[in-house]
Amino acid sequence: AVPSATVCQTASNKPSCKPAVFIPVDRAPEIQEARLKLPILAEEQSIMEAINENPVVVICGETGSGKTTQVPQFLYEAGYTSSTGAIGITEPRRVAAVSMSQRVAKEMNLSRRVVSYQIRYEGNVTDETQIKFMTDGVLLKEIQKDFLLSKYKVVIIDEAHERSMYTDILIGLLSRIVPLREKKGLPLKLIIMSATLRVEDFTENKRLFSAVPPVIQVDARQFPVTIHFNKKTPLDDYSGECFRKVCKIHRMLPSGGILVFLTGQAEVHSLCRRLRKAFPFQKNNTAGDDDKEESVEEIRKFKKSRKRKKAMTLPKIDLDNYSVIPVDEGDEDRDAETDDDVAGSDLDLDLGDADSEEDSSLPLYVLPLYSLLAPEKQAKVFRPPPPGTRLCVVATNVAETSLTIPGIKYVVDCGKVKKRFYDKITGVSSFRVTWTSQASANQRAGRAGRTEPGHCYRLYSSAVFMDFEQFSAPEITKRPVEDLILQMKALNIEKVKCKIDFVLRHSLKCLSIGTRNKHKFEQQTAKLSCPISPLGRVMATFPVAPRYAKMLALSRQHDCLPYTITIVSAMTVRELFEEYDRPAVSEEETAKLKGKKARLLQMQRIWAGQGLLQKLGDLMVMLGAVGACEYAGCTPKFCEENGLRYKAMLEIRRLRGQLTTAVNSVCSDAGLYIDPKMKPPTEAQATYLRQIVLAGLGDHVARRVQAEELLDDKWKNAYKTALLDEPVFIHPSSILFKQLPEFVVYQEIVETTKLYMKGVSAVEPEWIPVLLPSYCHFGKPLENPPPSYCPETGRIRCHRPSVFYRVSWQLPAVEV
Ligand code: ADP
Ligand code: MG
């Protein structure tokens, strides 16, 4: 039940929307005591005054100052909840949403029915919920249903410094929603919370908020932290280096908790195991080992359930030929569908590696911490370690700002972070480990000085640190812009450009397609004010750039998905084949290179297939090469002998795994699997694939210049494209180099001595008006416009139109 409200005096008598109430909260004495020590408590009054007087407020405060746990409580006490509106708090990470809702419920002595959370697939929200923690993705989905967010009286955007894409879009949208709510007489308060003072993007962007929002700075006591750099930077084995460093600290330095930063869940588990082996617990003190047993058991269960699922959906598949490619999801993958990486084999890898290092020191109480860890296990890091032990938390960067662990005196920082990368051409995103930024390295160091002076051990040299980027760039600047537009349209934001200036302002840079390109931004945005099509809606759910999303969406027929996934992966990786045209140092080497090149050409002809398969051109060669390589087990030897780049092949395998998982999570009925030994497509499938690629790469169509159109010699064997005025040619390395089909679709244009198209497939002219009607204008008006994609059946209808259209095409826009 909601406690009865008592009216209290308010300082200002300006007419404002401020609730003049005080809702008492019954906190336990020890909680109240701990709260009072938090720096943010000193600012309660100024924070609440600012919120009462302003629609938008920015709060900056060092991690651990109490923003996430206390601000919702201030608002609750001040009466910012009622039966008609709640307080919503968004977090970029699931782990924070769950754990903070738990903590706040406990501090306020309120039921989880009142203080609840919602993450993508789970939550405990009820009719009584008044404080709701959620991931930013969840709030975006709610905006889709109710643009005014009428359920909320206050929305708090937490961890805004992370600049996650969803957070940025949310702030852009909320900057429009706040005035709309004001107009309706139902004001909404927006609070932006950040762990750094770098908030100019939110405050100084005049297009964002009409009045500059006040910034409240919370001063946190921070004790000095001594930074120790490594003299040398280890190349690969930073995990091993972490192990050695923790051992050293534990053996030689006075008491105090250790916090280790690694990049992913598998690494965290593996280091935990090594440390537990080196500094074991006594029999009656097995908190750590419990964990291990459980996680091994979990993996077993997980693997079993996976097998069962496979067997059900795909009865004909030979289970022994099947290998799951573990999906590598970082903690940054906050709200995406995740295939828990316990499915990987890391846990089985280095059994017994620390045997010789067993030690007689104090036991080390080792705890893992990462996004997908079960909440009960996450909660352990907040409790004091068992007496006579030292706490050691091995974490991913969730411990950087999302969660504050008490009692840390030593920080060990590997300097790396797992980040999402977007391929510029395909927009395919994947995770890679890279150096972190200076700002986040400093955040990590700061974790050591919360209760007393501390030490931070950086496992890299100061020279390397100086090379780090200062801040990580906002995610939105890295995503392909068509993708953003599509995502926003899927949120029913039709006039993307005028509504989300803020968002686009950052990404305009990404649009530099080159001066040569006539295809200007205006032309692209001209299309922005139309509503999203049903196909567009499907496309928006795929985690790749729209043109590839379109290909995937259309491939759900005729079993084309595995091929399209492979094509998109191979396009992302691009340089599949070894380059043998390099100058050689000796005659012997020249001969060797020549031999290798001949062998590669011979193989490419084989991979290009027979009959109609050949028309798929370079894409068929890609499919054939990947299939053959996987058939041979994807060994370095096979690659070396056949002119394939081994690293490229491994990367394709990884991307195929990621895309398959993504597609499965989008189309739960797809039941896709990765069969490494993929059979070549049938002739019919190859023909469908050509149409699918054409539909996706509509602006990459080229037509051979006909004899009667030859302007001059430089147009001999040349093609005209929609995007360029100059002649372009099929690249000599293309399997279609000699065939010169009338119409082709290409993956990219590269410029060497001339402009060359790479990744070329032949297309039939009559497909173009059918699949890309908006890209064409026709010689005479059509009586029956040709049918194209049918959203109800998800099929491409492609019968031959009775008239042969002379196709020329307008400058295409990216279709969304
Ligand atoms: P901020 O959001 O400013 O980084 P928080 O509100 O997350 O700060 O944390 C404030 C304090 O609450 C920290 O000292 C932290 O250790 C403590 N805290 C947070 N969650 C828990 C929990 N589940 N159990 C115990 N203490 C917690
Ligand atoms: Mg916080």
Residue-wise pLDDT tens digits, 561-599 = 899 999 999 988 878 998 887 777 788 888 888 999 999
Is there a contact between 370 and 90 (Cβ–Cβ < 8 Å)? no
Give the pLDDT of residue 15: 43
Pairwise pLDDT comparison (48 vs 196), residue with the higher score: 48
Atom of ligand 1 nearest to the CA of 100: 20
Going by alpha carbons, the residue nearest to atom 17 of ligand 1 is: 404
**Would you place residue 796 in the very low, low, confident or very high pLDDT band (cuts 50, 70, 90)?**
very low
Question: What's the chain's Rg over C-alpha atoms?
Answer: 29
Ligand nearest to the CA of 91: 2
The two tokens of residue 240 are 């091993």
Mean pLDDT of the chain, nearest integer: 76
Give the contacts of 647 (CB within 8 A, at least 6 positions apart): none
Is there a contact between 420 and 475 (Cβ–Cβ < 8 Å)? yes
Q: Is 68 in the pocket of ligand 1 (CB under 6 A)?
A: yes
Give the contacts of 298 (CB within 8 A, at least 6 positions apart): 342
The model's pLDDT over 266-303, given as tens digits with 9 standing for 90+, comes to 899 999 999 998 888 653 344 444 444 444 454 455 44
DSSP letter, residue 717: T
**Share above pLDDT 90 across residues of the chain, in percent, rounded to a whole number:** 36
Atom of ligand 1 nearest to the CA of 401: 4
What is residue 257's three-state secondary structure? strand
Q: Is 404 in the pocket of ligand 1 (CB under 6 A)?
A: yes
**Would you place residue 392 in the very low, low, confident or very high pLDDT band (cuts 50, 70, 90)?**
very high
Pairwise pLDDT comparison (758 vs 546), residue with the higher score: 758
Least reliable range by pLDDT among 155-164, 617-626, 762-771: 762-771
CA distance 140 to 475: 16
CA atoms within 13 A on the CB side of 86: 22
Phi, psi angles (nearest 5°) of residue 119: -120, 180
Mean pLDDT within 805-811? 32
Question: Among 781, 740, 746, which residue's Cα sits nearest to residue 761?
Answer: 746
**Would you place residue 779 in the very low, low, confident or very high pLDDT band (cuts 50, 70, 90)?**
very low
Give the pLDDT of residue 354: 35
Most confident of 12-26, 195-209, 681-695, 706-720: 681-695
Give the C-alpha distances (Å, rounded to integers) separating 399 from 123, 370, 395, 408, 707: 22, 8, 6, 11, 67
* Amino acid making up residue 235: L
Give the pLDDT of residue 338: 31
Q: Is 38 in the pocket of ligand 1 (CB under 6 A)?
A: yes
Least reliable range by pLDDT among 265-274, 284-293, 665-674, 806-815: 806-815
**Would you place residue 362 in the very low, low, confident or very high pLDDT band (cuts 50, 70, 90)?**
confident
Going by alpha carbons, the residue nearest to atom 14 of ligand 1 is: 64
Give the pLDDT of residue 147: 86
Q: Is 680 in the pocket of ligand 1 (CB under 6 A)?
A: no
**Model pTM score:** 0.66
DSSP-assigned letters across all residues of 135-184: EHHHHHHHHHH-TT-TTEEEEEE--GGG--HHHHHHHHHHHHHHHHHHHT
- The alpha carbon of 249 and the centre of ligand 2 are apart by a number of angstroms equal to 28
Mean pLDDT within 9-38? 73
The model's pLDDT over 312-324, given as tens digits with 9 standing for 90+, comes to 321 121 212 211 1
**Residue 340 pLDDT greater than 70, yes or no:** no
- Which residues are paired to 365 by β-bridges? 391
Give the pLDDT of residue 765: 79
- The alpha carbon of 99 and the centre of ligand 2 are apart by a number of angstroms equal to 11
Q: CA 276: distance to chain centroid?
A: 32
- The alpha carbon of 159 and the centre of ligand 2 are apart by a number of angstroms equal to 6
Mean pLDDT within 726-737? 91
**Residue 11 pLDDT greater than 60, yes or no:** no
Give the pLDDT of residue 108: 96
- The alpha carbon of 193 and the centre of ligand 1 are apart by a number of angstroms equal to 15
Pairwise pLDDT comparison (478 vs 516), residue with the higher score: 478
Pairwise pLDDT comparison (571 vs 260), residue with the higher score: 260
Is there a contact between 57 and 214 (Cβ–Cβ < 8 Å)? yes
Give the pLDDT of residue 499: 45
Least reliable range by pLDDT among 164-178, 292-306, 655-669: 292-306
Q: Is 687 in the pocket of ligand 1 (CB under 6 A)?
A: no
- Which residues are paired to 118 by β-bridges? 123, 134
Going by alpha carbons, the residue nearest to atom 12 of ligand 1 is: 66
**Residue 163 pLDDT greater than 80, yes or no:** yes
Give the pLDDT of residue 662: 75
- The alpha carbon of 161 and the centre of ligand 2 are apart by a number of angstroms equal to 11
CA distance 397 to 115: 26
Q: How many angstroms separate the first and last alpha carbons of the chain?
A: 48
Which of 30, 35, 103 has most ligand 1 atoms within 8 Å of its beta carbon, as the pocket-test mutant?
103
Pairwise pLDDT comparison (408 vs 786), residue with the higher score: 408
Give the pLDDT of residue 800: 29
Mean pLDDT within 720-734? 83
Mean pLDDT within 505-531? 40
Mean pLDDT within 167-176? 86
Q: Is 161 in the pocket of ligand 1 (CB under 6 A)?
A: no
Q: Is 101 in the pocket of ligand 1 (CB under 6 A)?
A: no
**Would you place residue 69 in the very low, low, confident or very high pLDDT band (cuts 50, 70, 90)?**
very high
Pairwise pLDDT comparison (456 vs 175), residue with the higher score: 456
Atom of ligand 1 nearest to the CA of 63: 4
**Residue 110 pLDDT greater than 50, yes or no:** yes
Mean pLDDT within 459-469? 92
Give the pLDDT of residue 769: 73
- The alpha carbon of 101 and the centre of ligand 2 are apart by a number of angstroms equal to 12
Give the pLDDT of residue 114: 94
- The alpha carbon of 449 and the centre of ligand 1 are apart by a number of angstroms equal to 15
**Would you place residue 735 in the very low, low, confident or very high pLDDT band (cuts 50, 70, 90)?**
very high
CA distance 487 to 636: 40
CA distance 506 to 477: 6
Give the pLDDT of residue 316: 20
Least reliable range by pLDDT among 336-350, 458-472, 675-689: 336-350
Q: Is 761 in the pocket of ligand 1 (CB under 6 A)?
A: no
Which of 69, 131, 378, 382 has most ligand 1 atoms within 8 Å of its beta carbon, as the pocket-test mutant?
69
Give the pLDDT of residue 275: 93
Give the pLDDT of residue 726: 80
Pairwise pLDDT comparison (398 vs 344), residue with the higher score: 398
Mean pLDDT within 121-132? 88
Mean pLDDT within 83-99? 89
Is there a contact between 328 and 431 (Cβ–Cβ < 8 Å)? yes
Q: Is the ipTM of this complex over 0.90?
A: yes
**Residue 176 pLDDT greater than 60, yes or no:** yes
Going by alpha carbons, the residue nearest to atom 23 of ligand 1 is: 103
What is residue 275's three-state secondary structure? helix
Q: Is 179 in the pocket of ligand 1 (CB under 6 A)?
A: no
- The alpha carbon of 62 and the centre of ligand 2 are apart by a number of angstroms equal to 9
Going by alpha carbons, the residue nearest to atom 26 of ligand 1 is: 382
